[in-house]
């Protein structure tokens, strides 16, 4: 009954990961505490604290654990996002609402891809930024990045997207309730507008309930439907990655990757299990917290692997791209609310 029964290679690998993972976890605690105290996006604190400790990703003792946190812990966090959604929540929206959300997400991503190509960027960058704007902000950016092929600029693009979408989401949380008031939207429509256009879940909840309880409930349900769109969009990213790898001659190694990565399958399974109502509320809540923890920890690790100068050198085009995607989503969703008489 001793450690001799453990696989020596596995044990050595775990020991190699441990220092970097412990560092990432400690910084995660700090980021979440600061975000809670200052009521600011936790992903921004995670990113900034991680970047301040960039030198640790170069240390042999911690490099492998930080890399593990940036990749595998991220995938676990995405899988656990499935505990946020149930089939009954989607059904409660009605087919008009579901159609609006599906159309808004699809057209916003298409807009992002088209604009990215016109600006000289790759299709994957348009999918990354468009998906982050259309679905659920920083969480969607991290999830889509995990499904995309490796690229020297991948982490830089992911960090830029997280920073931009978090900033735009915070601005929208302040501005969109005022816009809804100027447009004289009734509470239900105002909540739908908030839930269909603001990027991050926390900002949707804050903005929706700042209008009224009815608006907050509508905003939350619409937002959860947008989060549910994460699965088909991850599948799209994985399919495009396969095509890209085959085009680059990277898929002829005898091992063909699955159409859906394991974390996307786990996401779908958890949605299905959570929809049955069998899971205790305390377990669901713990899983939701674990999801947030893993995503923040992954953001810390990605920050540690990135230099500030890389983010500052992106230029104005990526910023313009994400602003245009955000405006496109807002105008499109308001137009659908008027046309469909939600």
DSSP secondary structure, 316-327, as one string: HHHHHHHHHHHH
Q: Residue 308: its pLDDT value, please?
A: 67
Positions of the chain with pLDDT under 70: 1-11, 93, 249-260, 307-314, 341-342
What domain range includes position 234? 3-340
Global pTM value: 0.78
Q: Residue 79: its pLDDT value, please?
A: 86
With contact defined as beta carbons under 8 Å apart, do 321 and 121 qualify? Answer: yes
Report the C-alpha gap between 232 and 319 in whole angstroms. 26
Instruction: Decide: helix, strand or coil at residue 256.
Output: coil
As for how many domains the chain has, the answer is 1
Q: Residue 130: its pLDDT value, please?
A: 96
Q: Residue 2: its pLDDT value, please?
A: 47
Report the C-alpha gap between 296 and 46 in whole angstroms. 6
Report the C-alpha gap between 336 and 96 in whole angstroms. 10
Report the C-alpha gap between 23 and 298 in whole angstroms. 12
Burial 134-149 (b: 16+ CB within 10 A, else e): bbbbbbbbbbbbbbbb
Going from the C-alpha of 58 to that of each of 62, 67, 325, the distances in angstroms are 8, 11, 36
Q: Residue 251: its pLDDT value, please?
A: 47
Residue 251 DSSP symbol: S
Going from the C-alpha of 22 to that of each of 76, 91, 288, 305, the distances in angstroms are 17, 41, 21, 16
With contact defined as beta carbons under 8 Å apart, do 296 and 46 qualify? Answer: yes
């Amino acid at each position: 009954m001793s450690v001799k029964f453990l696989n020596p290679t596995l044990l050595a690998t775990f020991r190699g990961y441990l220092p970097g993972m412990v560092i990432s976890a400690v910084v995660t605690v700090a980021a979440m505490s600061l975000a809670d105290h200052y009521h600011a996006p936790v992903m921004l604190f995670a990113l900034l604290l991680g970047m301040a400790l960039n030198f640790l990703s170069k240390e042999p003792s911690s490099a492998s654990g930080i890399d593990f946190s940036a990749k595998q812990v991220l995938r676990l966090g995405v899988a656990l996002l499935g505990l946020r959604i149930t089939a009954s929540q989607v059904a409660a929206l009605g087919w008009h609402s579901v159609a609006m959300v599906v159309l808004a997400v699809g057209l916003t991503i298409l807009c992002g891809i088209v604009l990215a190509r016109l600006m000289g960027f790759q299709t994957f960058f348009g999918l990354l930024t468009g998906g982050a704007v259309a679905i659920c902000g920083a969480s969607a950016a991290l999830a889509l990045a995990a499904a995309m092929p490796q690229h020297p600029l991948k982490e830089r693009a992911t960090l830029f997207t997280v920073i931009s979408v978090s900033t735009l989401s915070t601005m929208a949380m302040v501005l969109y309730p005022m816009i809804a008031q100027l447009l004289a939207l009734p509470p239900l429509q105002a909540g739908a507008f908030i839930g269909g256009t603001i990027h991050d879940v926390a900002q949707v909840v804050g903005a929706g309930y700042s209008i009224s309880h009815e608006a907050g409930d509508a905003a939350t349900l619409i937002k959860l439907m947008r989060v549910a769109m994460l699965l088909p969009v991850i599948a799209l990213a994985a399919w495009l990655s396969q095509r890209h790898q085959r085009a680059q001659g990277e898929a002829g190694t005898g091992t063909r990757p699955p159409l859906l990565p394991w974390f996307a399958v786990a996401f779908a399974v958890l949605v299905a299990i959570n929809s049955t109502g069998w899971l205790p509320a305390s377990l669901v809540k713990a899983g939701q917290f674990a999801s947030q923890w893993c995503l923040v920890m992954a953001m810390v690790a990605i920050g540690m692997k990135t230099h500030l100068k890389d983010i500052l050198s992106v230029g104005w085009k990526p910023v313009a791209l994400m602003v245009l995607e955000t405006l496109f989503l807002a105008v499109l969703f308001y137009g659908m609310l008027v046309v469909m008489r939600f």
